[in-house]
Structure 1
Amino acid sequence: MNWIILIVAGLFEVAFAFCLGKTKETTGNDMYLWYVGFIVTLAISMALLMKATQTLPIGTAYAVWTGIGAVGTVLVGILVFKEPATFLRLFFITTLILSIVGLKMVSN
């Protein structure tokens, strides 16, 4: 169950990075709404991470959480913000995914 909580926490990390990215594209009240979204999703992500680390090893949980956030944020950058999807960028994201899976496999 805590692995599922950790995955959801990682997805909220992607959400707060997305909100932060949207603040660059907006002005006025819309920008402040994206800042509020950033703070709310950040708080949820941190709360879920804290819950997951009650039973999971902190080193593994934190690495998986940041890995999900990194992979998700790069994918959001490519798909939503039209960032380049170069071969090397995709190659290193793939190695990061494999590392996350490897950490999960060797954790209790």
Structure 2
Amino acid sequence: MPWVYLVVAGLLEIGWASAMKQSAGFTKLVPTVLTIVLMLGSFGLLAAAMRTLPLGTAYAVWTGIGALGAFLVGLVWFGDSAHPMRLLAAALILSGIVLMKAAPSS
């Protein structure tokens, strides 16, 4: 169950980062409130996952899911650059997440 918490926490991180972008520096009410709500949910689930998962693994996977997801949202919805070097960097983040999950925790 901690891995489920961690993945959902990462997905919520993507949500709050995207809402933060749309809040225009916290000047728009609805995206600002959404950012705060999603952030609290993300942190809460991360904390729940950290009860059992090692700190380094949990934090690295959480930030990796958020970074990779925010990168993809930026490409698809915000027109961010899909330069090959940026795509390679995203692939390396994904490989780090997979290796963290696959590595033994002891």
Where does residue 65 of structure 1 map in the other structure?
A: 62
In 2, distance between residues paired with 1:80 and 1:24?
Answer: 15
Distance in 1 separating the partners of 2:15 and 2:61:
16
Identity of aligned residues (%): 41
**Match of residue 46, structure 1, among 21, 38, 43:** 43
Change (3 A) 1:25 1:59: closer
TM-score, structure 2 as length reference: 0.94
Q: What is the CA-CA distance between 1:25 and the residue it aligns to? A: 9.2
- Structure 1 position 23 matched with structure 2 position 23: yes
In the TM superposition, what is the alpha-carbon distance from 1:60 to its structure 2 partner? 0.4
The normalised TM-score by structure 1 is 0.92
Q: Where does 1:1-108 land on structure 2 (aligned, <5 Å)?
A: 1-24=1-24, 31-108=28-105
Gaps of 5+ in 2: none
| Aligned alpha-carbon RMSD (Å) | 1.5
Q: Which runs of 4+ in 1 moved over 2 A?
A: 24-27
